[in-house]
Amino acid sequence: MLLNEFLKARCHMDAQQKQIEQLRQELQTRDQAVQQLQQRLDQSQTAATQAQAKAESATAEVSKQEQSVTVLRTDVDDLKQNAGTTALTIQETQKNVKEAIESPTAIHYKGITITPGGFVAAETVTRQRATSADINTPFTGIPYSGNSLSKVFESNFTARQSRLTLLGESKVGSAKLTGYYEGDFLGTGVDQPESDVRTLAPGTYYFQCDPHAPLGMSGHMKVES
């Protein structure tokens, strides 16, 4: 009896031992599976981190490229604007050169710039008493009431006050020289009346010379007839 019970107990213990061993194997298998899953999870996290870093790098590169494109567009716009300004400047320069060639305002001769000028006057004077004079009235020659000329009206047209001007400019070393001439036709010929159109001789002269030295010195010379 005792032997049989011992054998049964032994068999029962062996069966439990097998179950325990089986449970151990299952636990080991489960631990290995958990470790594999953990490794895969770590690998996935590493891959995600690397992908995020690559995405951030790509975003930064795209931002840099966008900035470069913006800078290039700005440069292109500036170049277009500068090209347009340069074209306008060239056109204006060509226009000025053409005008200077076709309609020069000054004459250049051996380093001297001569600028002619002046104006043409068309004037008239009317007197109740004829003096047979031109634009200038000789007050000492006005006829008295007993003179027949005191009853004669006269109207004279004249261009004697027309003026001719010349401006001369030049440089001698570091000094700048400027000369200016101005004259009219209020003069008269010898033994000829002012009313004679043949007496349109130069009358008043004005000449001025301004030498400008490096030290700021200046001088004036004026001659009038």
Based on the domain organization, do 147 and 193 belong to the same domain? Answer: no
Q: Are strands 123-127 and 112-119 parallel, antiparallel or unpaired?
A: unpaired
Q: Is 134 exposed, middle or buried (0-12, 13-18, 19+ CB in 10 A)?
A: buried
User: What percent of the chain has pLDDT above 90?
Assistant: 0
Question: What is the reported pLDDT for 124?
Answer: 86
Q: Which is higher by pLDDT, 186 or 210? A: 186
Of 4-18, 83-97, 203-217, the range with the highest mean pLDDT is 83-97
Asked if the structure places residue 116 within a domain, the reply is yes
Asked if the structure places residue 16 within a domain, the reply is no
Distance (Å, rounded) from C-alpha 180 to C-alpha 191? 31
Structural domain count of the chain: 3
Based on the domain organization, do 216 and 183 belong to the same domain? Answer: yes
Asked if the structure places residue 9 within a domain, the reply is no
Question: 115-124 pLDDT, tens per residue?
Answer: 988 888 888 8
Based on the domain organization, do 168 and 113 belong to the same domain? Answer: yes
Flag whether pLDDT at 212 surpasses 50.
no
Q: Which domain holds residue 217?
A: 105-121+159-225
- Closest among 180, 138, 181, 186 to 162, alpha carbons compared: 186
pLDDT classification of 125: cutoffs 50, 70, 90: confident
Based on the domain organization, do 113 and 193 belong to the same domain? Answer: yes
Based on the domain organization, do 109 and 208 belong to the same domain? Answer: yes
Based on the domain organization, do 111 and 201 belong to the same domain? Answer: yes
Asked if the structure places residue 35 within a domain, the reply is no
Q: Are strands 123-127 and 175-183 parallel, antiparallel or unpaired?
A: unpaired
Asked if the structure places residue 28 within a domain, the reply is no
Question: 126-181 pLDDT, tens per residue?
Answer: 888 888 777 778 888 888 888 887 788 888 888 878 888 888 888 888 888 888 88
Based on the domain organization, do 79 and 56 belong to the same domain? Answer: yes
Whole-structure pTM value? 0.42
Task: Spell out the residues 6+ positions from residue 221 whose beta carbon is closer than 8 angstroms to its own.
Answer: 207, 208, 209
**In a 3-state reduction of DSSP, which class is residue 147?**
coil
**In a 3-state reduction of DSSP, which class is residue 181?**
strand
